[in-house]
Amino acid sequence: MSLTDWFLLGVAIVGIVLFLYGANYYEPVVGWVGVAFFAVAFVVFLTLYVRGELTKKPAQNP
């Protein structure tokens, strides 16, 4: 896994923790920030993955 993947995984985990904290202590702003962190990490990961697949050079056969 690349450094970007680890960073996005960390952001997603922080988002889940913030969501659970906000749900447990009735803090709606913290909960929604957690949802936003998780969603942004997911969308950025998918975007980078699709971009990498589309810009991949085909293998050259000798």
pLDDT of residue 16: 97
The yes-or-no verdict on residue 61 having pLDDT over 90 is no
Q: Between 57 and 40, name the one with better pLDDT.
A: 40
* pLDDT band, very low/low/confident/very high, at 59 (cuts 50, 70, 90): confident
Q: What is the pTM of this model?
A: 0.85
Q: State how far Cα 44 lies from the chain centre.
A: 6
How much is the mean pLDDT over the chain? 94
Alpha carbon distances (Å) from 3 to 26, 33, 37, 49:
34, 23, 18, 14
Residue boundaries of the structural domains of the chain: 3-54
62: Cβ contacts below 8 Å, ≥ 6 apart: none
Average pLDDT in the 15-39 region? 95
